[in-house]
Structure 1
Amino acid sequence: MIIYQAKDWAGALRHFHTSFSIRVLLRRVAFVSLYGILLTLIDQHLIVVNLPFDGTLFSLLGITLSLLLVFRTNTAYDRFWEGRRQWGSLVNYSRNLAVLLDSLLPDEAKANRTYFASTLANFALALKGHLRNGVDMAELEDTGDGELQTLSQYGHIPSRIAALLLRRIQTLRQDNIVNDADLITIRLYHQALLDITGSCERIKKTPIPFSYSFFIKLFITVYVLLIPFVLVETYGYFAIPATTLAAYALIGIEMIGDEIEEPFGLDCNDLPLNQIAQTIGRNMHEILGVPSSSVVAPKQEVDYIKVN
């Protein structure tokens, strides 16, 4: 995720060329601009380029395309915001569960406190990896009971960690550390962790329908390629910058939708899952009063890009 000062226009514009998405966008816009230059030169020096397109019809098509892009962008942002809401809920439920366990566990129960702090931290890290390129076992904390070595055998590691967490809670119930009323409350928080996992998987595994995405991309392509034919007769060489600006706006909006519709990836504008997961880990150890293992973000994953 790119961190920036929203009110600092000059600061944001200075980093215009540093974004990978912008560089891709500029390459595509450059292709359209070259196409517009070629078509304009042909019209001005060789033959008159004239298509039977009425400006009113072209304007109506532009309005239709604008409505489609608005819907496309809103849909993509809804997915992005829903992903952020789910991870915000994960932070809250993890803290609530840790606070409850801190009140139930005796101060001298260091083994149980360390286990729950490490397991809750591991759940967030495992969910982050599950939604990305796979769980990195080197990121997870050792819970001290040998369970870490067996996690790689499971296809859905977050669910396995949740199962181990509930097993340990049931052990506390058998030891009369947790009573039935406490167990009901704990299970509500525990169930919320799995509900968040399912919601994130729903976002990740339900992309925008291909036919819809294909239609918008085809519509934009045809519209941008037809713009010079409509403008060159009236505006001459000024059709070149007009075509370039139109391509920048239309293609850019579509690219924004493509980038944010899957918020759990590693693009510049995706959610900072590394930082959120590490925050959860630190909070778990602080609340339960046990020392924290060093949790280091993988070098290949950079969640925050600060724009000064």
Structure 2
Amino acid sequence: MKKKSLSDIARSLNVSKTLVSFVLNDQGDKNGISSKTQKIVLERAREMNYKPNHMARGLRLGKTQTLGLIVADISNTFYAKMAKKIEEVANQHHYNLIFCSSDENPEKEIELINMLKERQVDGIIISTTQKNGAVFSWLKKENYPFVLIDRKLPKLTSNFAGVDNFTGAYEATEQLIKNGYRKIGLLKISPTYLSTIADRERGYRSALKNNGIRANNKLIRTINCSDIRQQVRAVLSELLEPPYKIDALFSVNNNITVACMEYLNEMNINIPLDVAMVSFDDIDLFRLSCPTITAVAQPVEEIGECAVNILLDEINGLTTDKKQVLLPVKLIKRRSCGRGV
């Protein structure tokens, strides 16, 4: 069935297409169209099941009222929760949202950016997997609005909303040290060049150094993001035995922590009696598990809301300055970090 147009409505009522357009775009009162006529036009539009062409309207007005969101891994609870909040805030401002997941693939991320631009989205929120800022420097030259979330890029001045990863990792590691642990393993995730991972490792190393513990690189392992479960099993089976025999573990995200919990449970290794544990990222599972898991909580919804507001300010020309927002994190102490908790 052919889609009805403004012209079809106008012909059926023997009025001008311009009049119909004014009414359907809430410009009737402004252009002196009587309430009676507006009511007739709106009723006829409903009868004919008229659906506005938002893309054409967007091209005409220079805006599509649509935002793009690219996250690194939509299956991760952290990003799923943030995406939900971003959509909620966007809708409050009468914007639709297109979701995309790069799956930690830099090439796919660039393809998604190009796709969203081709779809004329008004701006993009991105959790980037890029190693450098080349693609974003190009967006800046085009004055294309975007906000980086969670992950920053070195030497790139851009809009950003995220958290203080260094302090969160420092406090998590120091809590383990205060509880008497000295051989603390670190499980980080690929790609390790990401600012979040680098900052968390710096926080871990700094906490060790400031407490008189020399960092042992053999206790720092990288888990491939495409094979977390199996790699965690292999790494822990080694770190928990001599000559390493770690007594505590700090994992840099919730997916690694869940894989650790699964393996330790299978092997009947007690948390925290055999090995203590702290995670960066706090998810509902951690407060319900046995034992409960000590974790660095991020203000996920606040990051999402902040990102949308920054992006809309730029889209609407309310600012030309790039905003960098670094939100605090909170260490939630639970049973997994051991002694004294």
Hey, which of these two has a bigger chunk of helix by percent? 1
Of the two structures, which has the highest relative contact order with CA contacts closer than 8 Å and spacing of 6 or more?
1
Give the alignment's TM-score, normalised by structure 1.
0.28
TM-score, length-scaled by structure 2: 0.26
Question: Quick check: which one's strand share is greater?
Answer: 2
